[in-house]
Amino acid sequence: MKFYYSINWVKTLYFNFKKFPFSIALKLPVYFYGSVKLKNISGKVIFKAPIKSGMIGFGQPYELITRSKGTAEFSLEGKMILNGHVQFGKDYLIHVAQNATLEMGNMSSLGHSGKIMCYDKITFGDFARIGYESQLLDSTAHQLINTVSGEIYPLTAPIRLGNYNYISNRVTILSKTITSDYCTIASNTLCNKDYTSLGENILIGGIPAKLIKKNISRDWEGEKEDLMKWLII
For the beta sheet containing 44-47, the strands, ordered from the edge strand earlier in sequence to the opposite edge, are 44-47, 79-82, 101-104, 121-124, 159-161
Cα–Cα distance for residue pair 122/135, rounded to 1 Å: 12
Cα–Cα distance for residue pair 136/97, rounded to 1 Å: 14
Q: Is the pLDDT of residue 3 over 90?
A: no
What pLDDT score does 38 carry?
A: 98
Residue 9 gets the label, from left (phi > 0), alpha (psi -120 to 50) or beta, of alpha
pLDDT-derived band at 25 (thresholds 50, 70, 90) equals very high
pLDDT-derived band at 221 (thresholds 50, 70, 90) equals very high
> What is the 3-class SS of the chain, one letter each residue?
CHHHHHECHHHHHHHHHHHCCHHHHCCCCEEEECCCEEEECCCEEEECCCCCCCCEEECCCCCCCCCCCCCCEEEECCEEEECCCEEECCCCEEEECCCCEEEECCCEEECCCCEEEECCEEEECCCCEECCCCEEECECCCCCECCCCCCECCCECCEEECCCCEECCCCEEECCCECCCCEEECCCCEECCECHHHCCCEEEECCCCEEEEECCCCCHHHHHHHHHHHHCC
At 153-174, the pLDDT tens digits run 999 999 999 999 999 999 999 9
Would the pTM of this model clear 0.85, i.e. be above it?
yes
pLDDT-derived band at 17 (thresholds 50, 70, 90) equals very high
Residue 48 CB: number of other CB atoms within 10 A?
11
Q: What is the mean pLDDT of residues 197-210?
A: 98
Bridge partner list, 183: 202
Q: What is the mean pLDDT of residues 48-56?
A: 98
Q: What is the mean pLDDT of residues 176-190?
A: 98
Q: What is the mean pLDDT of residues 206-215?
A: 98
